[in-house]
Every structure is written in C-alpha cells, then in structure tokens.
A = this chain, B = another copy of it.
Amino acid sequence: MKITCSKSNLVKGVSIVSKAVPSKTTMPILECILIDATTDIIKLTANDMELGIMTEISGDIIDRGMIAIDAKIFSEIVRKLPDNEVTIETLDNLQTVITCEKAKFDIAGKPGDEFAYLPIIEKEDSIEISQFTLKEVIRQTIFSISDSESNKLMTGELFDISDNILKVVSLDGHRISIRKVPLKKSVADRKLVVPGKTLIEISKILSGEAENVVSISYTKNHIVFEFDNTIVVSRLIEGEYFRIDQMLSSDYETKVRINKKELLSCIDRATLLVKEGDKKPIIINIGDELMELKIKSQIGSMNEEIMITKEGKDLLIGFNPKFLIDALRVIDDEEVTIYLMNAKAPCFIKDDAESYVYLILPVNFNSAA
C-alpha cells in the first residue's frame, strides 16, 4: 500500500476513529487503526467490538492495499509531523514508512485482514436530526446515566421515537433526565437503548453545526450514526427500558419560579463545604417570596436567600446538591420552574412544553436539621 494525504486530513481522521480504540483489550489487533486503501477511497477504521468508527479521508492512492497500525503511536506521530503532505507506504514485511518533508518514521504494522471489520448493517428505519441538536441532547442528559455495570440498562440512554418525537431519557435511580426533539419526517415508533459510552464518544466527534445533519438508523441490535464522512456503528443494550411514565406526575402543591443562575451559583458555593463522598444535603426552605438555602458540614455552615415567585404551600425539603447542579447547568432558560409535592416526593424542573423534564428525588435530612 502507498498513499499520500495532507497532515491535517490525517490528523482529523485519526482523531475521529481513535475514539473507538479500546483502552484495554485482549485482542491486540483492536489497538490498531486500519488504513484501508483497497478501493478508490482511503478509509480509517477503529473498532472495540461494541463501538466501531469509520471515516474517509481525501488523499491519493498510489498502490492499493491496507495495513493496521498501533493507534496510539500512529496518532502521536501524525500529530507531530510537519504541516505538509504525508506519505504512508508499507513494505513486504509489514514495516510501515511514514514520510513528511525530511522526517521519516519506520514502524511495524499488522496485517489488515486480521482487523475486525464493522458489522454490515441492513438498515430498517432512520431519523435525521442536526449535529447541533444531537450534541446538545447528549450533553443535557448524559450526566444522569449510571456508571455501575450492575444494571446495564441504566448505563445507556433510551431513544424513544414516538409520534414523530425523539425522546431521550437517562436515569440512575435517584433522578431522571428527559429531552424531547421534534422530528421532521414521519417514522415508525421505536425504542432503542444506546450505550452511554457511544453517546459520549459521538458527542466528541460531532462538529455541532446546526446546518449539518446526522442520519440515525437502526436494526434489532445496532444503531448507526452517519455524518460528514464518518460512520459510527454501536451495539444497542438489550432489554426493556424502565417505564418512566408512571414515575412522572403533573400534580404539585408548590410551584416556584426562580432565576437559574442565582440558584446555580448559590448551590455551587454551598457544595464547597461538602467533601467528596460526604452526603450532606442542601436544605431548601420555600417561603412566600424567598427561598432560603442552607448547608451544614464539619467544615462550617452556609446560608443564602434568593427571591422567588411562589404558588401553593410553603415547603422544607432537602436535596443532594450535585443533582440540582447537574440539571440546572444544562438548562438554557434564564428562569426555571420547579414543581414540588412534599418533602418525600420528587421535584420536577421542567418548562411548559415539557421539552425538558428533570426529576430529582429529595433526601431525608432529619439528622442534619
């Protein structure tokens, strides 16, 4: 194989596919990036068997062929090359020579045909949303997946396509995050559970441009994201996702309108007094026009008051401050509305259209009171 391409194209492509290189694996070939120039297009591929990414880079193919090269060393070499045309040539013994200007690297490759190709997907159905929207909904929900493998479904996010709306849901047993995205084209209802890791890696690759589209297609076991010159294929998580509808409620006894930034800064300050792993709640006292927030730990205590507009009953309730911070950080509205029932029922932060819903369970604070 012998190809040439610009350093910048190569860096971009290697950086994209590197997201699917496993950090640990028992199959050394998966630590490689496959350079496939067997057709008229130069393709880079990486695949950890759960998540696979293929991207095309423009360049010239002088001799067709393919080679697998250790991803870590290849990406370091490529990044440090001079900003010019790069030639990659394989010798008979799989030695690979990377040349750019007067710099010449000589490293060992592995046979390309040992590489685990991406599964061939027969697409059943598909939806389209903008790169911007996909990147946003991931950011706005990914924090409430669970990182514990004890419940595999909680490590993923539900993509619930229904009535031409994509509803993205994550939950970890203490809170639920929901974002809704209207779809432009009519499509059959479908529920998919996408691994959190896949979404985290995809959101790093997405350019986030509003005018660029991602096509999302799916089969029984796989989901495929296509955008720019890149294809991301991921396994789905098997099983039926939690029935969240029965956890949601539109009843409330107390409704609070509050400036989001003020609330967020206040809780952020309060958490200074809480060491990591220490489960001190923030205690919220909702009165007529004021919300008082209090926290107390071994380090000291803090209290602060914020002006609010309230409907309904007064309420004293405690929360894990991190859960409030996570939700407030990803809401773009200047003011938020919080719906509460009593000190033992979850609170809901949501907008009128329910384009977002954040459910957070309160914590008991009798001991801290």
Contacts and interface: CB of A to CB of B under 8 A. Distances in A.
Interface in A264-281: 265-266, 268-269, 272-273
A195 to B, nearest CB: 32
B305 A107 contact: no
Contacts of A76: 272
A302 B102 contact: no
A102 B103 CA distance: 62
A104 interface: yes
B81 A269 contact: yes
Contacts of A82: 265
Chain A, interface size category, equals 20 to 34
Contacts of A299: 70, 73, 107
B80 A301 contact: no
A27 interface: no
A41 interface: no
Interface string A252-268: 00000000000001101
Nearest to A307: B102
Contacts of A302: 103-106
B300 A107 contact: yes
Interface string A72-93: 0100110011100000000000
Contacts of A304: 102-104
Most buried by B among A81, A266, A268: A266
B306 A105 contact: no
A108 interface: yes
A77 B269 contact: yes
Nearest to A271: B80
B108 A300 contact: yes
Contacts of A106: 300-302
A300 B73 contact: yes
Most buried by B among A104, A269, A306: A269
A126 interface: no
The count of identical subunits is 2
A209 to B, nearest CB: 33
A303 interface: yes
A133 to B, nearest CB: 32
A272 to B, nearest CB: 5
A144 to B, nearest CB: 24
Contacts of A108: 300
Interface in A285-327: 299-306
Contacts of A107: 273, 299-301
A302 B102 CA distance: 10
A269 B300 contact: no
Contacts of A81: 269
Interface in A173-201: none
29 contacts: A70-B299, A73-B272, A73-B273, A73-B299, A73-B300, A76-B272, A77-B272, A80-B265, A80-B268, A80-B272, A81-B269, A82-B265, A102-B304, A102-B305, A102-B306, A103-B266, A103-B269, A103-B304, A104-B302, A105-B269, A105-B273, A105-B300, A105-B301, A106-B301, A107-B273, A107-B299, A107-B300, A107-B301, A108-B300
Given A80-B269, A104-B304, A107-B300, 5 more contacts: A73-B272, A73-B300, A76-B272, A80-B268, A107-B301
The 9 closest A-B pairs by CB, nearest first: A107-B300, A103-B304, A80-B269, A106-B301, A76-B272, A105-B302, A102-B305, A102-B304, A106-B300
